[in-house]
């Protein structure tokens, strides 16, 4: 059978898992033993090193392996005093013997209590033995008798002065292996301060009357003072005490901590009187919001007096009422935890309100929810108005909220009706949230419900809080609680318009153009329509797509349609890569401008359908392209691509449109774009494409019919084109008409007809001379479709270069054959360049090379 003290240990272990602090009374209640018996067994366990204790009235116990932190009993350890407590811990654990600590602060702020906790912490960290004592001396008691103070501190030898009948050890010796706490250290005169130098430096001292033999001790020091260090302590003394910890006055502590301190006094009185209290909130806040000359000591006395008066009047009552119950009360017993009780005052009141309002789904109008929340906030605010809290909020949190709301309005076009009162309420919530030691947690059901009802508003407030984080430190825990409250208070009825937007609209650009356009459009429309992504200039297409897809997947509301406007890049690649990660209908539009984005935004605001917006977007200027479906087109189509330029392709398109069925869509593509599209897509992408017509042979694409237009002038090519068209529903008559028109078009006379302003007779003569020079140099003979193809290309190229004077030079390295071709071509085109004042650049030469190289 286990010995009784080990049964006590088991109960202590179990209780320490459930709660941080375990008192003797709680162990007695758990075991059914008397308090005195439990105290005896705990003392035995303490001697065995199995448990540790800290604090006074009550004493808290922890099993040794639970690593007790005595500072957890000090209100503010994880709050406003975290830095100071960390300093104390560093002073204790710094090897080899720690630092002396000097605690400053007004009378009654808790300096002596903190000193005892430093001693307890040293024991818990095993830097001193459990037998190491905590010895206290108030220097003010001996301020008028410095010699007596020396004898008390250092002891004395027999005969050192009259009445010294025997050797007597001083407090320094008693503190050997532990801590010596000198309170009111500023009352030490200069001589006595200097007497401590050797002790602080070397750990040695001389008792009064001893001159030869110094006594070696291992003493750690804690000093405390209420006075200015510069005015009272020697500079040489202060230099020996590197760690200075300041404790603020009671009225300087955050509201949460003031409440906890006040409540802890009531809890202690409840234990002393063995009575429960019903405490009026108005009485509580009157105590919390007033300054005390003696700080915690005065507060303790005032609480004790209130309890004494109430006790005298209600001795026979089990529960004693303190103050009026009109404005609400709080229940206090010896089991009350001040931390959880304080949370009840503020965050939990709002948490409970949100859950009560939203979960039954009785109230669905955001204005009703907002009214109830604002009413509760006003109640809290009235309870806090007795202090300087309002001024504090206006000076710091309110200013941050104002600044962020201006930035958010400028970016998203919202907060147009945001009032100063709403900002002040948000500032109060933010203050209480930041200062609370335990952050409020909403039920998951509540968070999901708010996200489901107001997904876009939830996102906007999340971004708002992210913006706040750049100017202040916000904990991640409980952020959803903050978002929900800010949503109701700051956005409110504006959410109706925000949530009406059916699409996810995105702007994307290199540089900062996207955010600039976003600000203009959202503000002109006075609603959140667009989100913007400003990408680095050197960002790759994959980086851009990654950012966009991550954003789409992050959205609470899975939109059925996404509209993406971007500045430059491959339309089809952007569409295909983003579509992989989203089931939503997707529309991508390139070469975005402010006017275009505004037009799209207005159409979204007018609730036009996705297809209506897509149809409107297709009517934008020629440089802009739109894609909102998988593949080249949703319709049956024929692709036309000519190396000589889009102009030639457009002429062929005109002929085909005139000859073929209206439902067949003729699509023109630049030669480079066609090659890129074929290389980067599979057959499924061309599922609606009946045929590709091109003026240059390109590699075959399995499953796709590709016809060189010049082959049409020969019977085999004409038959292939006719067969392909008729397989897709064209009549034989339409096919024959088309072939006649194409044959007429592809003649030397047809080339002349295509020229816009040059004299066809002169240009054709010059083209023939250029072709002859190539034939002479490379010893070849061009005929038929090859001759027509190269002749048409050169003629149209000359006219095109006269209009477009920008040169396009390719960065690629040239092989021997290609370099030779470029050099020869420069000579061949020299006369034409001079005559027409043009420059045949590397890009044009590369096209010529592609046309001729198969004949070399």
Separation CA 401–CA 406 (nearest Å): 9
Task: Quote the tokens at residue 788.
Answer: 């027509």
733 pLDDT more than 80: yes
Residue 816's pLDDT is what?
80
Summarize pLDDT for 584-602 with one digit per residue, the tens. Answer: 788 888 888 899 899 999 9
- The side-by-side arrangement of strands in the sheet containing 319-322 is 319-322, 276-280, 329-332
**CA torsion, ordered 31, 36, 42, 46, to nearest 10 deg:** 180
What's the whole-number average pLDDT of the chain?
84
Residue 583's pLDDT is what?
73
Three-class DSSP category at 795: helix
Summarize pLDDT for 313-333 with one digit per residue, the tens. Answer: 998 888 889 888 776 778 887
Is residue 508 within 8 Å of 565, Cβ to Cβ?
A: yes
Is residue 578 within 8 Å of 522, Cβ to Cβ?
A: no
Task: Give the range among 116-125, 253-262, 567-576 with minimum mean pLDDT.
Answer: 567-576
∠ CA 89-90-93, rounded to 5°: 85
Separation CA 735–CA 743 (nearest Å): 12
Q: H or E segment at 792?
A: helix 784-803
For residue 695, is the peptide bond before it cis, meaning its omega torsion is within 30 degrees of 0?
A: no
Summarize pLDDT for 374-423 with one digit per residue, the tens. Answer: 888 887 777 665 555 456 555 688 889 999 999 999 999 999 889 999 99
Separation CA 556–CA 409 (nearest Å): 22
Summarize pLDDT for 781-840 with one digit per residue, the tens. Answer: 876 667 777 888 888 899 888 887 666 666 566 778 888 999 999 999 999 999 999 999
Summarize pLDDT for 184-206 with one digit per residue, the tens. Answer: 999 988 888 888 888 999 999 88
Phi, psi of 20 (to 5 degrees): -70, -40
Task: Quote the tokens at residue 373.
Answer: 């929340």
Separation CA 588–CA 514 (nearest Å): 15
Is residue 217 within 8 Å of 40, Cβ to Cβ?
A: no
Beta bridge partners of 156: 168, 208
Name the band, by pLDDT with cuts 50, 70 and 90, for residue 341. Answer: low
748 pLDDT more than 70: no
For strand 204-205 and strand 179-183, is the pairing parallel, antiparallel, or unpaired? unpaired
66 pLDDT more than 50: no
| HSE toward the beta carbon, residue 348, CA cutoff 13 A | 9
Summarize pLDDT for 665-685 with one digit per residue, the tens. Answer: 888 888 877 887 788 677 877
Q: H or E segment at 51?
A: strand 51-54
- The side-by-side arrangement of strands in the sheet containing 706-708 is 665-668, 637-641, 689-694, 706-708
Summarize pLDDT for 82-128 with one digit per residue, the tens. Answer: 999 999 999 999 998 899 999 999 999 999 999 999 999 999 888 99
Q: DSSP characters for 580-630?
A: TT--SEEEEE-S--HHHHHHHHHHHHTT--HHHHHHHHTTS-TT--EE-SS
- The side-by-side arrangement of strands in the sheet containing 220-225 is 134-138, 179-183, 220-225, 101-104, 243-246
Name the band, by pLDDT with cuts 50, 70 and 90, for residue 1. Answer: very low
Separation CA 790–CA 649 (nearest Å): 15
Separation CA 696–CA 557 (nearest Å): 48
Residue 258's pLDDT is what?
87
Q: H or E segment at 322?
A: strand 319-322
Is residue 574 within 8 Å of 545, Cβ to Cβ?
A: yes
Residue 455's pLDDT is what?
92
Sign of CA dihedral 116, 119, 124, 130: negative
Residue 4's pLDDT is what?
67
Residue 804: count of CB within 10 angstroms of its CB: 11
Q: DSSP characters for 678-700?
A: HHH--GGGGTTEEEEEESS----
Long-range contacts of 190-193 (CB under 8 A, 24+ apart): 190/234, 191/146, 192/146, 192/149, 192/150, 192/153, 193/233, 193/234, 193/237
| CA–CA distances in Å: residue 269 to residues 274, 277, 303, 486, 828 | 8, 9, 8, 39, 108
Separation CA 412–CA 531 (nearest Å): 8
Task: Give the range among 586-595, 636-645, 651-660 with minimum mean pLDDT.
Answer: 636-645
Name the band, by pLDDT with cuts 50, 70 and 90, for residue 349. Answer: confident
Summarize pLDDT for 473-522 with one digit per residue, the tens. Answer: 887 788 998 999 999 999 988 999 999 998 999 998 888 899 999 999 99
Separation CA 241–CA 103 (nearest Å): 10
**Conformation bin of residue 628: beta by default, left when phi > 0, alpha when psi is -120 to 50:** alpha
């Amino acid at each position: 059978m286990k010995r009784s003290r080990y049964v006590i240990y088991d109960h202590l272990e179990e209780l320490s898992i459930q709660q941080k602090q375990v008192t003797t009374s709680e162990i007695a209640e758990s075991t059914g033993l008397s308090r005195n018996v439990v105290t005896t067994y705990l003392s035995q366990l303490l001697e065995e090193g199995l448990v540790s204790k800290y604090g006074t009235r009550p004493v808290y116990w922890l099993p040794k392996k639970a690593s007790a932190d005595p500072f957890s009993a000090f209100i503010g350890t994880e709050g406003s005093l975290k830095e100071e407590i960390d300093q104390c811990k560093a002073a204790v654990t710094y090897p080899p013997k720690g630092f002396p600590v000097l605690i400053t602060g007004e009378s009654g702020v808790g300096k002596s209590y903190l000193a005892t906790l430093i001693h307890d912490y040293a024991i818990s960290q095993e830097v001193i033995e459990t037998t190491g004592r905590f010895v206290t001396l108030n220097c003010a008691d001996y301020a008028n008798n410095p010699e007596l103070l020396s004898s008390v501190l250092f002891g004395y030898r027999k005969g050192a002065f009259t009445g010294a009948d025997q050797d007597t050890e001083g407090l320094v010796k008693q503190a050997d292996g532990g801590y010596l706490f000198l309170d009111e250290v500023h009352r030490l005169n200069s001589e006595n301060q200097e007497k401590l130098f050797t002790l602080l430096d070397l750990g040695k001292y001389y008792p009064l009357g001893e001159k030869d033999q110094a006594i070696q001790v291992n003493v750690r020091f804690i000093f405390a003072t209420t006075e200015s260090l510069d005015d009272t302590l020697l500079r040489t003394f202060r230099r020996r005490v590197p760690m200075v910890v300041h404790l603020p006055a009671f009225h300087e502590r955050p509201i949460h901590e003031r409440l906890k301190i006040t409540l802890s006094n009531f809890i202690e009185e409840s234990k002393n009187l063995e009575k429960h209290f019903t405490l009026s909130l108005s009485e509580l806040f009157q105590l919390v919001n007033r300054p005390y000359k003696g700080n915690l000591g005065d507060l303790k006395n005032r609480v004790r007096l209130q309890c004494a008066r109430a006790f005298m009047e209600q001795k026979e009552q089990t529960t004693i009422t303190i103050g009026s119950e009109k404005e609400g009360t709080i229940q206090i017993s010896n089991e009350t935890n001040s931390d959880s009780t304080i949370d009840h005052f503020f965050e939990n009141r709002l948490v409970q309100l949100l859950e009560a309002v939203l979960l039954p789904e009785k109230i669905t109008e955001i204005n009703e929810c907002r009214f109830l929340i604002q009413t509760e906030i006003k109640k809290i605010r009235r309870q806090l108005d007795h202090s300087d809290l309002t001024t504090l909020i206006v000076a710091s949190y309110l200013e941050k909220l104002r600044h962020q709301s201006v930035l958010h309005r400028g970016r998203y076009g919202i907060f147009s009706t945001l009032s100063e009162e709403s900002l002040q309420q948000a500032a109060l919530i933010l203050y209480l949230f930041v200062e609370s030691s335990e952050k409020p947690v909403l039920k998951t059901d509540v968070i999901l419900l708010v996200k489901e009802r107001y997904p876009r508003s939830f996102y906007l407030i999340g971004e708002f809080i992210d913006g706040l984080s750049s100017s202040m430190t916000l904990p991640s825990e409980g952020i959803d609680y903050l978002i929900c409250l800010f949503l109701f208070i700051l956005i409110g009825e504006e959410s109706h318009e925000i949530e009406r937007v059916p699409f996810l609209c995105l702007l994307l650009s290199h540089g900062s153009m996207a955010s600039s356009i976003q600000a203009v459009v959202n503000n002109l429309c006075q609603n959140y329509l667009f989100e913007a992504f400003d990408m680095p200039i050197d960002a790759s297409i994959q980086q851009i797509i990654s950012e966009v897809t991550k954003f789409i997947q992050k959205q609470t509301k899975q939109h059925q349609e996404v509209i993406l406007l971007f500045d430059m890049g491959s339309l089809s690649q952007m569409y295909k890569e983003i579509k992989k990660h989203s089931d939503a209908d997707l529309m991508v539009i390139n070469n975005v401008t402010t006017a275009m984005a505004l037009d799209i935004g207005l159409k979204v605001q007018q609730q036009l359908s996705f297809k209506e917006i897509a149809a409107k977007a297709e009517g934008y200027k020629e440089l802009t392209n739109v894609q909102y479906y998988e593949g080249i087109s949703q319709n049956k189509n024929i692709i036309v691509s000519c190396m000589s330029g889009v102009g030639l392709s457009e002429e062929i398109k005109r002929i085909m449109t005139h000859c073929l069925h209206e439902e067949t869509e003729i699509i023109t593509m630049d030669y480079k774009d066609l090659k890129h599209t074929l290389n980067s897509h599979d057959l499924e992408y061309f599922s609606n494409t009946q045929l590709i017509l091109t003026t240059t042979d390109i590699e075959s694409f399995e499953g796709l019919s590709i016809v060189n237009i010049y082959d049409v002038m020969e019977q085999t090519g004409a038959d292939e084109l006719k067969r392909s068209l008729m397989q897709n529903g064209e009549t034989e008559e339409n096919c024959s008409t088309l072939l006649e028109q194409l044959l007429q078009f592809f003649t030397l006379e047809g080339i002349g007809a295509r020229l816009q302003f040059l004299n066809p007779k002169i240009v054709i003569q010059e083209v023939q001379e250029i072709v002859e020079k190539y034939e002479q140099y490379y010893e070849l003979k061009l005929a038929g479709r090859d001759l027509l193809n190269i002749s048409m290309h050169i003629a149209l190229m000359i006219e095109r270069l006269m209009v477009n004077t920008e040169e396009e030079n390719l960065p690629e390295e040239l092989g021997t054959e290609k370099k030779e071709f470029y050099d020869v071509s420069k000579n061949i085109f020299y006369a034409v360049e001079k005559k027409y004042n043009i420059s045949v650049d590397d890009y044009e030469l590369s096209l010529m090379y592609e046309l001729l190289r198969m004949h070399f």
